[in-house]
Amino acid sequence: MAALRVLVGVKRVIDFAVKVRVLPGGQGVQTEGVKHSMNPFCEIALEEAVRLRERGGAAEVIAAAVGTSKCQETLRTALAMGADRAVLAEVAAGAEVGPREVAAVLAALARKHSADLVLLGKQAIDDDCNQTGQMVAALLDWPQGTFASQLELEAGGGAVRVQREVDGGLETLRLRLPAVVTADLRLNEPRYATLPNIMKAKKKPLEVVAASELGGAPNPRLKILGVAEPPGRQAGVRVEDVPALVAQLRQSGCV
């Protein structure tokens, strides 16, 4: 079986446990001085790539990020988790990059590094878009296995079987390689980077290129006009016991 070269897209986002705040004026959310980490779905995608290599299915795992120089930290984490090398497609601080621009860069990197499989998370927990993987697949004209909860390389190496999480349950697809797969939460449980691996990761190669050279020019056709806090909910009441609860629900016409 020919071993694959896997490209994994990772994104630096505000940590999932942080309560985000909208900036006064509504031009964005507060990102300065806020804890950032690797998007949880990206961790899962990376873990799957590393497991593929450990099983002998992948020859090399390349982690890639599109963003400011701060993303180097995210890529070091990826290297510590087991990626072999990393590429940062750098953009200037403050530049608006969305899934369309990221997809263009990742598609270019997939071609440049002759990837057979592109693994991504199913969505980033900041913009909640759930678009990049599908768009990379479209740009490359490769098949896509989105929301994957299981990924198997077929004997012979020419295809993957992907079990997907869909609305009514699960479905299984067979995708001819090269392909794009996006990870759902259930795909695996990502490992922690150990201290020795964090030290080793510092020596692994991390290449920095300009995103603009790879087709990641910002798209002025999608503008964020403003952000706002959603309307808050009215404070509720505590009820004493179950009869009181049922009485309240009956009174308000809920049941």
Partner 1 sequence: MLRVAAAARGVRRAASLLHRFQSTLVIAEHNNETLTPITLNAVTAAKQLGGEVSCLVAGTSCDKVAQEVSKVPGVAKVLVAQHDAYKGFLAEELTPLVLETQKQFKYTHICAGASAFGKNLIPRVAAKLDVAPVSDIIEIKSPNTFVRTIYAGNVLCTVQCDEAIKVFSVRGTSFEAAPTSGGSASVEKVTPPPPVGVSEWIEQKLSKSDRPELTSARVVVSGGRGLKSGENFKLLYDLADQLNAAVGASRAAVDAGFVPNDMQVGQTGKIVAPELYIAVGISGAIQHLAGMKDSKTIVAINKDPEAPIFQVADYGLVADLFQAVPEMTELLKKK
Residues 8-67 that bind partner 1 (CB under 8 A): 14, 16-17, 19-20, 22, 29, 41
Backbone angles phi, psi at 176, to 5 degrees: -75, 135
Per CB under 8 A, contacts with partner 1 among 99-128 are 99-100, 103, 122-123, 125-128
DSSP secondary structure code for residue 122 in this structure: S
Q: Name which of residues 75 to 94 contact partner 1 (CB under 8 A).
A: none
Minimum Å gap between C-beta 209 and partner 1 is: 22
Q: Closer CB to partner 1, residue 61 or residue 104?
A: 104
Query: Minimal distance in Å, beta carbon 130 to partner 1?
Result: 5
Neighbours of 25 (CB within 10 A): 8
- Nearest approach, Cβ of 149 to partner 1 (angstroms)? 7
User: What's the gap between Cα 42 and its chain centre?
Assistant: 4
Please, which residue, 80 or 144, has the CB nearer to partner 1? 144
Taking Cα atoms as reference points, which of 103, 58, 115, 83 lies closest to residue 214? Answer: 103
Show contacts of 159-163: CB within 8 Å, 24+ apart. Answer: 160/117
β-pair partners for 62: 7, 85
Q: Work out which of 143, 187, 190, 206 binds partner 1, going by CB under 8 A.
A: 143
Binders in 170-209 for partner 1, by CB under 8 A: 170-176, 184-186
User: Out of 1, 138, 199, 210, which residue is the one contacting partner 1 (CB under 8 A)?
Assistant: 138
Closest CA to 89 of 186, 11, 175: 11
Interface with partner 1 (CB under 8 A), residue from 8, 139, 148, 187 = 139
Going by C-alpha positions, the residue among 130, 5, 3 that lies closest to residue 57 is: 3
Smallest gap from Cβ 60 to partner 1, in A, equals 23
Nearer to partner 1, 156 or 236 (CB): 236
Q: Which of 85, 111, 161, 191 binds partner 1 (CB under 8 A)?
A: 161
Size of the site for partner 1 (CB under 8 A): 81
Closest CB 56 distance from partner 1, rounded Å: 24
How many C-beta atoms lie closer than 10 Å to residue 218's C-beta?
16
Question: DSSP letters of 22-84?
Answer: BPTTSS-B--TT--EEE-HHHHHHHHHHHHHHHTTSEEEEEEEEEESTTHHHHHHHHHHHT-S
Question: With left for phi above 0 and alpha for psi between -120 and 50, is residue 67 left, alpha or beta?
Answer: left
157 binds partner 1 (CB under 8 A): no
Return the residue of 142, 148, 151, 214 that touches partner 1, per CB under 8 A: 142
Does 169 interact with partner 1 (rule: CB under 8 A)?
Answer: yes
- Nearest distance from C-beta of residue 199 to partner 1, angstroms: 32
